[in-house]
Amino acid sequence: MDFDQLAQFLADLGEPHFRARQVWEWMYKRYVSDFDAMSNLPKALRTKLADIATVAPLTLVTEVVSRDRDTFKALFQLPDGQTIEAVLMLYDERRTLCISSQAGCAMGCTFCATAQGGLARNLTPGEIVAQVLYFARYLADPALPPDTAAERPTTVTNIVLMGMGEPLHNYANVWKALRRLTDVDAFGLGARHITLSTVGLAPMIDRMADEGLQIGLAVSLHAPNDDLRTQLVPVNKGYPVDEVLAAVRRYVAKTNRRVTFEYALMAGINDAPELAHALAEKLHGILCHVNLIPLNPIPNSPFQPTSDEETEHFAQILRKAGIPTTVRLRRGIEINAGCGQLRRAASIAASQ
Ligand code: SF4
């Protein structure tokens, strides 16, 4: 529910308007996970609300922590039994949370664990927001994580929509969630601290440019030409490279914001030096930055990560051509931190 829906819901129960503000603040400022903790609500109302509603719709199925304790991955069950993942990454000054926008995904990227089960359904705005509140609660707990220095941030500081699903394929619900996450009366995170990653649904990039929120845009390119990109990202058939890049150019012209291109490097597939040159040529003149991602390997998959040396060589070619390029730190390999991998491992374990 957004705030108006909550106010109407409580009004229908015969409650005065200020109750909505009280409940809202308990959820979004104090991160409580049950009505009983809302101590300024009458006990009878708390009991009634607990019977008919929930403020924490996610049930934790599995939570795993990397050996160095800086990557936390959670597999959640939704009320209808679907499962989704979210990953929290601890950096010195940042607490970055990668969240899901759909249960499963319809985009069918051939190297992706999530793609293998197809799309189950869109997440509701509440289910998207709930992933953030879960980890905000987790970070606010003084007992966790045990090795976090006291002066470091104790809430989520950055959000990336790079988990399961294609956020622009669940456009309306994702944007409702983004407005709530950035609303100063709700979660209140600055829009510039949020990045939405898309496989390149060109018309939706145009729509995003008109939203007026300073959310960052990342486009998963993974190949500079249509033949290769269609093999890796089948949606490229509908939105070929040049069409995606034209939408990005319009987006930059309208928002004046730098766009990130994500490129997952896969050994022998898309990491040849000539592809780096072709990529630099395609991106010439776009206000952008390239993020090279060493692939998180899926067990038994033909797609394996490029070596560190070849990754650096690919990066150097782009940099020499004037394209700002970084190599993303690989996180949590031993805990299946790549998109969809924990869910897949859980379903394989359940079927054995
Ligand atoms: S990489 Fe992203 S868009 Fe592609 S199938 Fe996986 S979740 Fe969907």
pLDDT in tens, 264-292: 999 999 999 999 999 999 999 999 999 99
Q: How far is the CA of 120 from the centre of ligand 1 (A)?
A: 13
**In terms of CATH architecture, what is 59-351?**
Alpha-Beta Barrel (3.20)
Distance (angstroms) between ligand 1 centre and the Cα of 143 equals 35
C-alpha span between 126 and 104 (Å, rounded): 17
Measured in angstroms, how far is the CA atom of residue 340 from the centroid of ligand 1? 9
Q: How far apart are CA 162 and CA 170, in angstroms?
A: 13
For residue 319, which of 279, 264, 260, 347 has the smallest C-alpha distance? 279
State the closest ligand 1 atom to the C-alpha of 163, by its place in the atom list counted from 1: 7
Q: Which residues contact 14 (CB under 8 A, 6 or more apart)?
A: none
Q: Please, is 310 exposed, middle or buried when counting C-beta atoms within 10 Å of its C-beta (0-12, 13-18, 19+)? A: middle
Listed by start position, the domains of the chain span 3-52, 59-351
Closest CA to 102 of 122, 129, 75, 128: 122
Pocket test for ligand 1, best of 119, 122, 199 (most atoms within 8 A of CB): 199
Residue 165 CA, closest ligand 1 atom number: 7
Helix spans in 225-272 (H): 226-232, 241-255
pLDDT of residue 352: 47
- Residue 339 known to be catalytic: yes
Whether residue 199 contacts residue 107, with contact meaning beta carbons closer than 8 Å, is answered with: yes
Task: List, in sequence order, every residue forming a beta bridge with 262; answer none if it has no partner.
Answer: 220, 291
What residues does ligand 1 touch, defined as CB less than 6 Å away? 105, 107-109, 112, 114-115, 164-166, 199, 339
Q: Rounded distance, CA 133 to CA 28, Å? A: 7
Catalytic residue among 15, 63, 85, 309: 85
Asked if the bond preceding 299 is cis, omega within 30° of 0, the reply is no
Question: Pocket of ligand 1, candidates 100, 102, 112: which has the most ligand atoms within 8 Å of its Cβ, to mutate?
Answer: 112
**DSSP structure class, residue 257:** -
Closest CA to 229 of 268, 263, 280, 260: 263
338 is written with which tokens? 């790549």
Cα separation, 107 vs 238, in Å, equals: 11
Sole residue written with tokens 């619900």: 173
Distance (angstroms) between ligand 1 centre and the Cα of 85 equals 13
The ligand 1 atom at the shortest distance from the C-alpha of residue 113 is 6
How far, in Å, from the CA of 110 to the mean position of ligand 1?
9
Tokens, residue 205: 């990039």
Cα separation, 112 vs 85, whole angstroms: 14
Q: Which residues pair with 294 in a beta bridge?
A: 265
pLDDT at residue 343, as a whole number: 67
Catalytic residue among 98, 105, 112, 339: 339
* Nearest atom within ligand 1 for CA of residue 102: 7
Distance 124 CA to ligand 1 centre (A): 18
Q: Measured between alpha carbons, how far is 98 from 68 in angstroms, rounded to an integer?
A: 18
What is 184-204 written as a DSSP string?
Answer: TTTT---GGGEEEEES--HHH
CA 216 to centroid of ligand 1, rounded, Å: 18
**Do residues 115 and 105 make contact, with C-beta atoms less than 8 angstroms apart?**
yes
Residue bearing the CA closest to ligand 1, atom 4: 109
Q: Which atom of ligand 1 is nearest to the CA of 162?
A: 2
Q: What is the pLDDT of residue 66?
A: 82
- What does the pLDDT profile of the chain (352 residues) look like in tens digits? 999 999 999 999 999 999 999 999 999 999 999 999 999 999 999 999 999 999 999 999 998 888 777 888 999 999 999 999 999 988 878 899 999 999 999 999 998 888 888 999 999 999 999 999 999 998 887 666 545 554 567 789 999 999 999 999 999 999 999 999 999 999 999 999 999 999 999 999 999 999 999 999 999 999 999 999 999 999 999 999 999 999 999 999 999 999 999 999 999 999 999 999 999 999 999 999 999 988 877 777 788 899 999 999 999 999 999 999 999 866 655 555 566 666 665 555 555 4
Question: Atom of ligand 1 at shortest distance to CA of 114?
Answer: 6
Which of 105, 164, 169, 295 has most ligand 1 atoms within 8 Å of its beta carbon, as the pocket-test mutant? 105
Ligand 1: residue of 101, 107, 204 to mutate (most ligand atoms within 8 A of CB) is 107
Domain 3-52, CATH number (from 3.30.160.270, 1.10.4010.10, 1.10.150.530, 3.20.20.70): 1.10.150.530
Structure-token pair, residue 210: 């008109």
pLDDT at 339: 60
